[in-house]
Structures are given as C-alpha cells and as structure tokens.
Structure 1
Amino acid sequence: MSIERFIGVDLAWRDEAGSAPANETGVAALDQRGIVLEAGWTRGVAATADWVQEVTGDRSALLFVDAPLVVENLTGQRVCERQVGQCYGRWKVSANTTNQASPRRAGVTLLARLQECGWTYHDGRGGPPVDGRLVSECYPYTTLVGVEELGYDVQRPRYKRKPHRMPVAQWRGERAAACDDLVGRLGRLAAADPPMILDSHPRTAGLAALPAPIDDAAYKHREDLIDAVLCAWTAALWYRHGRSRCQVLGASGDPATTAATIIAPTRPGQRITTTIRTGAPR
C-alpha cells in the first residue's frame, strides 16, 4: 500500500464562539501525480473534519495542518515553535507561541475529532509513513524558505504580516504584489519532485488567472487557499523525500511519548544542529 492522498488544511485558529461564526479554513487535496483534486474553504472544525473524511473516503492519506495539534506545555512556547525561529530566523520566519493558556486551539480539537474517525497523529520522528490515515503539523513559512524550487533564498515573501510602521494603504499594494509573485513561483512546482499542478483545478488555477485583491477580506480568502495548497504539497514532499529534504522540529524527548512537532522542509543551512538549544535533552 501507499499514501494516495495528500491533504492540506490552513486551519482557522478561532472556531465558533457564541454567535460569532468561525473564520474560514483553506483546504486542498492532491494525488500522487500532483493533481489538485479538491480545493476550497470550510468554516469550523466540524465542517473541516467532514470535508477531510469526504475527500479521502477510505483511502490512505497524509494530512498536514497549519495549526498547533499537540499542546501539552502549561506555559511558554513549544519546543517546535522555538526551533522555527532558531532554524529559519535568518529568513525572517518565526512562530507564534502556543500553550495550554492559549485561547485559540482549534487544531487540538480537530485532531481529537479526526482520531475519533480513525486517524492517527504522526509526529514524524520515525520518518515518513508508508500508509495509513495520518495527521501532522506543518508551517507554510518553513516550506516557502526551506525549498530551493521557490527561490526565497534571502527571506520569506511579504504576503502577510505588515511590516512595522508601514502605512496600511502602502502595505495592501505591496502585499498583493508579493502574493502574485508567490503564485507565479508555485506554478514552478508543476515540474518539481513531487509535482503540484496549480492549473489542474479551477479554484487553484484562478489564483494565477486573477490578480490578488486589495480588500482585506477578499485577500485573506485567497491567502487561506494558498496556504492550504502549500500544506498539501509539504505532505507530499515529506512522503517522497523524508529527512533528506525535511526535518522534524520538536523531536527531542522520550520517544515513547507523543511529541508536539512541526515537519518542516529544510535546506542544509537551516537544519537543527547540536549547537541549537532546544530547552529539552537531545
């Protein structure tokens, strides 16, 4: 057997709260040929889990989620989050802090719901899976700077996170230009190993056909889909190349316990070394 589907979910950290609806979640599914089978948006953990179940059926699948899935630390930052900054900080990539006091942990809820449906958390410490229905955490920024194919050799693209002191009107224009450039670079992945063919689905083809909007809500709608596609391709990259092109952040600790990890594409100069302090024994 082998993994048949690679699923990406850019999960909205805020789920339903009282009368406030959940924010949008971007979702995408690839096959082994790099064909985008499905792509779009859901709202809420329940709807996202249902979409995952529908798009995978009973097939073996690897699901990569951009959201914290395992949060066992009472305070402070998870080791995997700290290692993002240590390994990719030179490219201006860092991670938000998550702990059990964090109010928005939709990823933890999603993992629990999928586990009830037979999915298994995959922390990556044993290398990529052979088959099964597995869920892992990823972070698209590490993919953008961690693969040579996309060409972000100096720093991450500025398609989100407004620079300090930049006027909003100026930022919206620069953000849209950076997003269009990113979509163009994603088109290169059609010839990559593994491939991802953006124009194989109407919604992802539309990313290249139309310029990025200036309006904040419309832009976020587009950004969520881009990040979902990146998550799905990262899953395919991990499955295809394993540790030769990816690393497992947060992998230290007792191998018999569940580890909060982020599976991140990496160039040689971004790899964890023994000189990096993890806060936990190696």
Structure 2
Amino acid sequence: MNNVYTEILLAGIDLAWQTTKNPSAVALGKLAGDTLAVTRLEPALYGIENIRSVLAERSLHGIAVDAPLIINNLTGQRPCEKLLSANYHSRFAGCHPSNQTLYPNALSVQLANQLSEMGFQHLGSTDTPWQIECYPHPSIVEMFGLPERHKYKKGTVAERRFGQIQLAMMIKSLATSSVLKLSLPDDFLKLLDENYIADLSGKSLKSNEDGLDALICLYIAGLYQRQAGAAVYGDTIDGYIWVSTVQVASVSPVPAHPLKPRPKPIKQKQTARPKTGITEDFRNGTTQTTTIGYINKNQQRVLGTRGKPGTDHCAKAYKLECLSSNCCQRYGTNGTEIYIRKCPECQGGRPGIPY
C-alpha cells in the first residue's frame, strides 16, 4: 500500500473500561502522506454497539485503542504493564493493573476479539487492517519531549481545566509537525479553545477530556501507520502496549498552576471548636486495612479518616480513591468494609458515604 498518495482511514478510541456505565470517545481521520485530517469525533458513546457503529466504515484500515485488549492473567499486572511501568515509573507514567479478577469478561477484550473477527490483526502489518493497544501517557511524554507525565485528569476543577488547556496547546502544535501533521476542521477547534475549556465543569469537562484523548489515540494510529519510531512492550499472546518513541513537536514549558489565582484567605477570628473527635486532616486507622496507602484487591486505596462516624456499627468513615484507569473516583466508606470495597463509579459498588 502506498502510504504517501493513498488516503487511509484510521480511528483512535479512548475506551471506558466500563463502557455501559461510562462514555467512550472515538476519533476518525484520513491519513494522506504526512498529514492526518480529522473527519469525525464522537466524545460520548455508551456501549460496544455504539462504538462499532462509528467504526462501521468500510474503508477503515487501522485502530488504536486506549484500553487492555488482551488479558490472560488472573491477578496482578500483565507482563507488558510491568515492563512499561519499570521504564516509566520514574516519570509517573506507569500502568494500572489489568487482570481477569478486576475485569472479568472485559468489554475491551470483547471489542478486540470482534475487531479480530473483522480482520483487524493485533500489531498487524500496515498493508492490512490492524489494531493496537496504546497508552497515551508515555506516548505524550515521548511525542512532546516532556520530563514526566502530563497531568490533566486529576486535581481540582481549575487544575484539570489548566491541564486540558496545556494538552490542547500540544495538540494544536501538531499542525506543523515535521513527522506527522494533524489537521482539524473548524468544527472541532472548540475542544482546543482556552476560553471554552476554562468554562467547563462536571460531565462536560470530562467529555472534553475524552475527546482530547481520542485525538491523541488517533494521532498514535497515524504514527503506527507511518511506521514511526516506537517501543512494543509485551506480545500478542499475553498482552502488549505500543508506545511512540519519536518526538513530533516541541512545546514551551508552561507553569503548572490553575487558570485563575486563588483568592487570598480572609483572616477570621478563631473560635473554640467543640471536641467531636473529628479533625481537618486525614489520618491512619488502627488496622492494616485502614492505613493510608492500603490498596485492596479491587484497587481501592485508603486516603485516611477524619474520625467522622460511618454508617456501620461503631465504624468510622474513610476516604478511598479508585485506582482503576480512567476513573480516579474518590468517595467515603466504612472502615469495616474497606478490604472488599468496590468503586461506586466503575465497579458497581454501593454509593459512597460522607467522610
């Protein structure tokens, strides 16, 4: 296949690991020579069928998916995740674990199997339909020459907005890349607009994040099709991750601070507080499972307790954080159920309690 003169339709998917509960985003684009032109962007798709309907383009040639496509291990990390994390841990771009205990009958694996049946081969030749599992965090580090993982998924609303604006600047810089130019139609430029992002919050902020992630996945697909420099961690038997290793653009360092300066606190007269046992700071509990940093089998991490009573008998409320990829939900739970707790956002756990 002549990659220089033939238009090649590619797709990038930011796949929610719980696709029936959380939205996924899909970006489509046509690669011609050294230019990848975005043609379609769907930032909020629920369920595999809706994703497949977007991918039902007869001429679709390659797909890059941000999700684990092959999971054979019962527990722990896949071998490819261990290898990648060993290389990128110091740059804060390691992997969360994927296994059959956390993700039984994973929808991402189902999608990959369906794509395989349609002729898309894992790490396939660029002359035939292919699919790859990608991981944007280390690829972003390499593509833009960053010292460490770019942060835009966690933090306060202001910090997440600012992180998205920085990522949008990086994506816009791809328009002049000497490796692969990214062309965006005017309809999609809103997602990269600083003023637009600065007003987002809640689901709209998350949806914009997913759209930007899908664009990164699409660009990674373009790099794969052009056979740009890359590292492959793992294999097509027990799972793999394709990471771009070529720098495609340079970005000016931007100070990592929120969009708007926080107002200076107003000094108020201190008044004595009643002794309730509740403190402002989070602290450890008295057992192993209530210690700050403890992670249970469902990848829920303890962030501590303020001493607030829980809803179980004689239990205290603890703050937990979900470590599953693309979730990061924080919520409250009783100390007595930490060891078996599941995330209420992505694992079907019970709703959180005040903490």
TM range (shorter): 0.7 to 0.9
Other-structure match for 1:71: 71
Other-structure match for 1:62: 62
Other-structure match for 2:18: 14
User: Percent identity among equivalent residues?
Assistant: 28
CA RMSD of aligned residues (A): 2.0
5+ residue gaps in structure 1?
17-21, 163-170, 252-256, 269-282
Determine which structure has the larger strand proportion and give its number: 2
How far is the alpha carbon of 1:214 from its aligned partner? 4.6
Other-structure match for 1:51: 54
How far is the alpha carbon of 1:207 from its aligned partner? 1.4
Deviations 1:190-222 (A, max 9, x none): 111211123x2513x111232244523111100
Counterparts of residues 1-282 of structure 1 (less than 5 Å)? 1-2=1-2, 4-16=8-20, 22-32=21-31, 33-41=35-43, 42-53=45-56, 56-57=57-58, 59-103=59-103, 105-116=106-117, 118-123=118-123, 129-147=125-143, 150-152=144-146, 154-162=147-155, 171-192=156-177, 193-198=179-184, 200=185, 202-203=187-188, 205-209=189-193, 210-242=196-228, 245-251=229-235, 258-266=237-245
**Which structure exhibits the higher relative contact order, with contacts defined as CA atoms closer than 8 Å and separated by 6 or more residues?**
1
Cα distance in structure 2, aligned partners of 1:213 and 1:241: 38
Letter in 1 for 2:95: A
CA contact (8 A) 2:139 2:245 kept: yes
Cα distance in structure 1, aligned partners of 2:246 and 2:130: 25
Deviations 1:163-195 (A, max 9, x none): xxxxxxxx2211111110110111111111211
Moved over 6 A (4+): none
Cα distance in structure 1, aligned partners of 2:219 and 2:237: 24
Other-structure match for 1:275: none
Cα distance in structure 2, aligned partners of 1:87 and 1:67: 19
CA contact (8 A) 2:27 2:40 kept: yes
Determine which structure has the larger helix proportion and give its number: 1
Change (3 A) 1:202 1:158: same
How far is the alpha carbon of 1:88 from its aligned partner? 1.6
Cα distance in structure 2, aligned partners of 1:137 and 1:213: 32
Cα distance in structure 2, aligned partners of 1:70 and 1:189: 30
Cα distance in structure 2, aligned partners of 1:135 and 1:227: 17
TM-score (norm 1): 0.77
Cα distance in structure 1, aligned partners of 2:213 and 2:83: 21
How far is the alpha carbon of 1:5 from its aligned partner? 1.6
Aligned residues: 235
Change (3 A) 1:265 1:7: same
Cα distance in structure 2, aligned partners of 1:101 and 1:11: 19
Deviations 1:24-66 (A, max 9, x none): 111101211311011113211111012111xx32x25110000
Deviates more, 1:103-112 or 1:75-84: 103-112
* Higher radius of gyration, 1 or 2: 2
How far is the alpha carbon of 1:259 from its aligned partner? 4.3
Change (3 A) 1:120 1:228: same
CA contact (8 A) 1:7 1:29 kept: yes
TM-score (norm 2): 0.62
CA contact (8 A) 1:71 1:100 kept: yes
Cα distance in structure 1, aligned partners of 2:135 and 2:198: 22
How far is the alpha carbon of 1:161 from its aligned partner? 3.1
Letter in 2 for 1:188: S
